[in-house]
Amino acid sequence: MMSVLQDSSMSVVVTPPDQRHEPVQPASQSWLIARLNPVSRFICPFVMSLPLFTTLDVVSASIQFAVVMLVLWVTGINPLVVFRRTWPVWIGAVGGFITIVLYGRTSGTVYFSWAAIVVSEGSLYLATATFLRVAAIAVPSVMFMLGLDPTDLADGLVQILRLPSRFVYGALAGMRMFTLLQEDWRALGLSRRSRGLGDGNAFVRMFAQAFGLLVLSIRRATKLATAMEARGFGGSTERSQARVSRLHTIDWVSYVVSLVIPLAAVTIAVVTGNWHSPLRGA
């Protein structure tokens, strides 16, 4: 039942906590990724990338990248959205491609040569394989991380991976307070200008203000550490959890799929004779 608070001028309807239903904010545009435990969103791309470290070829990397893009598309993320949200990955991949094309291991037909720059058949193949390898590893990692709630991740790290709660929740609090640095910097600047200290050399002012911000951060960290100790973090008594984090069937299925995709890609590369060890290049 709903309780009603009344006074002489108005009444306020209060819903009991067990009857409150707030809409869950989507953690990802992909319904599959959104249903995964935050810990699984770390484990899946990690497992998916491991087999690719054993090979450096075009076939395995291209197969894995194509399958990942298909899975993301089927589960609700348009490929154009993937490319738009992972643009730093493509900048790094293109930079690596150009570097290896110009300065990579020379083998096969030489197409261009000038000073230390040699563009050959082997360097082109190695550059293409590296480009696809970076895309196959980094793109799913970024897409799994987007929309991840730090609080849910901290709960999963403590309850599932059994990491120290004092370290995990301390890091979480630090991340939450990191957004205050901009406001603190602005407040310090206004405070110094009000005392006539902000009109001198800009370079000296920046270092002086940065030192003040460092002192403020240390004081805030000390208060946070004291508050965590008062709440029993790091003690011998087992702490209760306000939010329960557990793995479900879809998490275990995602682990299997994340391992099968790269293993199948590497196997196809081996069967077709396109497997190349990263230790010896192309």
The full 3-state SS of 49-101, as one line of letters, equals: HCHHHHCCCHHHHHHHHHHHHHHHHHCCCCHHHHHHHCHHHHHHHHHHHHHHH
226 and 180 inside one domain: yes
- Is 241 part of any domain? no
Q: Using 50, 70 and 90 to split pLDDT, how confident is the model at 67? A: very high
Average pLDDT over residues 154-164: 89
- Is 192 part of any domain? yes
200 and 67 inside one domain: no
58 and 133 inside one domain: yes
114 and 71 inside one domain: yes
- Is 24 part of any domain? no
- Is 22 part of any domain? no
What pLDDT sits at residue 23? 55
36 and 119 inside one domain: yes
- Is 47 part of any domain? yes
130 and 253 inside one domain: yes
39 and 142 inside one domain: yes
144 and 94 inside one domain: yes
- Rounded to 5 degrees, φ, ψ at 196 are 75, 25
36 and 129 inside one domain: yes
40 and 140 inside one domain: yes
- Is 237 part of any domain? no
Average pLDDT over residues 51-71: 91
Neighbour tally for 162: CB within 10 Å: 8
Q: Using 50, 70 and 90 to split pLDDT, how confident is the model at 195? A: confident
Domain span at residue 87 reads 31-148+246-257
- Is 224 part of any domain? yes
- Domains identified in the chain, total number: 2
Neighbour tally for 182: CB within 10 Å: 9
What pLDDT sits at residue 3? 46
**Which of 165-169, 184-188, 211-215, 238-242 is predicted with the least confidence, judged by mean pLDDT?**
238-242
Quote the percentage of the chain above a pLDDT of 90: 33
Q: Which amino acid is at 159?
A: Q
251 and 120 inside one domain: yes
**Which pLDDT tens digit goes with each residue over 248-268?**
999 999 999 999 999 999 999
197 to 181, 183, 185: CA distances (angstroms): 20, 19, 14
56 and 180 inside one domain: no
Please state the pTM of the whole predicted model: 0.75
